[in-house]
Amino acid sequence: MHARPQPPATIATVTERPPARRTHDRIEAEFDVGVNTENNFYTGFGENISEGGLFVATPTPLSIGEQVSITFRLPGIDTPCAALGIVRWRRDPPAWSEQLPGMGLQFVEIDPATRALVDRFIAKRRPLFIDTDDLAPVTRGGR
């Protein structure tokens, strides 16, 4: 039996990336980001970051699949960070929307020192959840 040929994969421009596709938790933060391509330098600000990449709000998002050099400084960390990345998705909101345009960048190469800074930043800001099923019942009054 022969397998049916599959159509080529395509990546569409999206307004929001569906949460189900994320493999890493995102941490909201604002920070300056520089994005270098082969021909241009773009600036923007980071809206969030994860172990896998970051979102850059910029009026000039790049094309999906474009490889970039990323420089950024995380809040509260003086050491500059750098990585190589690829544009995985774009946010191109309609003119009437209050959302800023931008792009989701996936880290494809990140040095160990920068990885440690990103991991430390995320760990300090990760929300804490308490599983209420593990708590002992609280009783008031009575014996």
Residues in the chain: 143
Could you tell me which residue, 92 or 25, shows the higher pLDDT? 92
Q: Is 3 inside a domain boundary? A: no
What are the tens digits of pLDDT across the range 115-135?
A: 999 999 998 886 544 445 544
Q: Is 31 inside a domain boundary? A: yes
**The total number of structural domains that make up the chain:** 1
pLDDT of residue 102: 95
pLDDT > 90 in the chain, percent:
50
Q: Is 46 inside a domain boundary? A: yes
Given a contact cutoff of 8 angstroms between Cβ atoms, the answer to whether 91 and 101 are in contact is: yes
Q: Is 141 inside a domain boundary? A: no
Average pLDDT over residues 53-67: 94
Q: Is 84 inside a domain boundary? A: yes
The domain of 88 spans: 24-125
We report the CATH number of the domain holding residue 110 as 2.40.10.220
Contacts of 113 (CB under 8 A, 6+ apart): 79
Q: Is 143 inside a domain boundary? A: no
Given a contact cutoff of 8 angstroms between Cβ atoms, the answer to whether 62 and 33 are in contact is: no
Instruction: Collapse the DSSP code of 117 into the 3-class scheme (helix H, G, I; strand E, B; otherwise coil) and give the result.
Output: helix
